[in-house]
Structure 1
Amino acid sequence: MADNTRVIEVVPYNPEWRMHFENMKEKLQNDLGDLILAVEHVGSTSVEGLYAKPIIDVDIVMESYDVLPAIIERLEDAGYVYEGNLGVEGREAFKAPEGSLVKHHLYECPKDGKGYLEHIAFRDYLRANEEARREYGLLKLRLAEQYRNDIDSYSLGKTAFVTSVLQRN
């Protein structure tokens, strides 16, 4: 169960999110480059013009689970804490290091994993579709107001929209 005590904050798009991601990407590529295929900015902060919680979502893409132990070791050396899949198959989660300058979620995903493929499909659809981007942003604002301290209900409230977009792709 998620932490239901923090206030959910949804804010206008911030162009600095892209810069923060690029800095994280460079560091992750330096630390993991020989083990990974790509570092992708996903989630709402990756879509220009979209309201978002100010938390950057990052997917690190690996060829297969064979390299996961080495990735875990290197990320732990960099201060990340491995959290397992948190109930989502095809996605391994890492808690950001204490004192990170930018709030972020880090996930390790196989290149053909459902979670990764859905993240990319959803991001790319919103980037290309202004009306869907506007509609999703308004939904997020409404849910953040309605479920101010309930991240589970906030997330559940987005499910129908996300599912409808993924079914189009």
Structure 2
Amino acid sequence: MADYEVILKQYDPLWRTEYQQEKDRIAAVLREKILDIQHIGSTSVEGLDAKPIIDIAVAVKHLVIAEDCAAPLRAIGYEYVHKPEFPSRRFFRKGTWRKGTHHLHMYDLHSADWQNNLLFRDYLQNHPRVLQQYCKLKQALAAQHPADRTAYTLAKAPFIANVIELAREETRRQ
């Protein structure tokens, strides 16, 4: 089932600036409710082609805190989007449906999802060969699924899972 177009852009250093500006806005409205904010996803990895959407991970002590964050986030342009298929995170979007500019993913600080996002990002940043493999895979999948972001995302999942496992192994060896 087609959902919407997959458009990849070459890495843009302005994505880091956009993230930092948004991080400051989020921190200003959520203050003590949050424990950490991280830039995740492909826009956080220098040299990686990406959909031009800034992905931001926000860690909280307990996921129920997300309910207290909805109103302050709405004040800076974020909309809560209920995603029952992802029970271990809360998702907020900035921008209109299918044209969002920022995605905010809220996780429990000690959750596997929080850790996996950081492991994946950091592994790509520290392993240029794997980064290039992922970039080529994304380009091929975007060509294969140009109007179906769901299929594109699902097709990347085995590669991502493998990289997370490599990152875990590397962490255990250290």
- Structure 1 spans left out of the alignment, 5+ residues: none
- The question of 1:137 aligning with 2:167 is answered no
Question: Normalized against structure 2, the TM-score is what?
Answer: 0.88
CA RMSD across the alignment: 2.0
Q: Which moved more, 1:111-120 or 1:84-93?
A: 84-93
- The question of 1:79 aligning with 2:73 is answered no
- The question of 1:30 aligning with 2:64 is answered no
Structure 1 residue 76 displacement after superposition: 2.5
Distance in 2, matches of 1:163 and 1:38, equals: 24
**What SS does the corresponding residue of 1:149 show, helix, strand or coil?**
coil
Alignment length (residue pairs): 166
Distance in 1, matches of 2:65 and 2:152, equals: 34
CA contact (8 A) 1:91 1:113 kept: no
Choose which of 50, 57, 64 in structure 1 pairs with 2:62.
Answer: 64
Q: Which moved more, 1:32-41 or 1:128-137?
A: 32-41
- The question of 1:47 aligning with 2:45 is answered yes
Distance in 1, matches of 2:61 and 2:49, equals: 32
- Structure 2 spans left out of the alignment, 5+ residues: 169-174
Identity of aligned residues (%): 30
| 1:162 paired residue number | 160
Distance in 1, matches of 2:90 and 2:3, equals: 24
Distance in 2, matches of 1:110 and 1:25, equals: 18
Once the two structures are superposed, residues 13-61 of structure 1 have per-residue CA deviations (whole angstroms, 9 ceiling, x without a partner) of: 1000000000000000111111101111000000011111111110111
Superposed, 1:113-124 pairs within 5 Å as 113-124=111-122
Question: Normalized against structure 1, the TM-score is what?
Answer: 0.90
Structure 1 residue 11 displacement after superposition: 1.6
User: Is the helix fraction higher in 1 or 2?
Assistant: 2
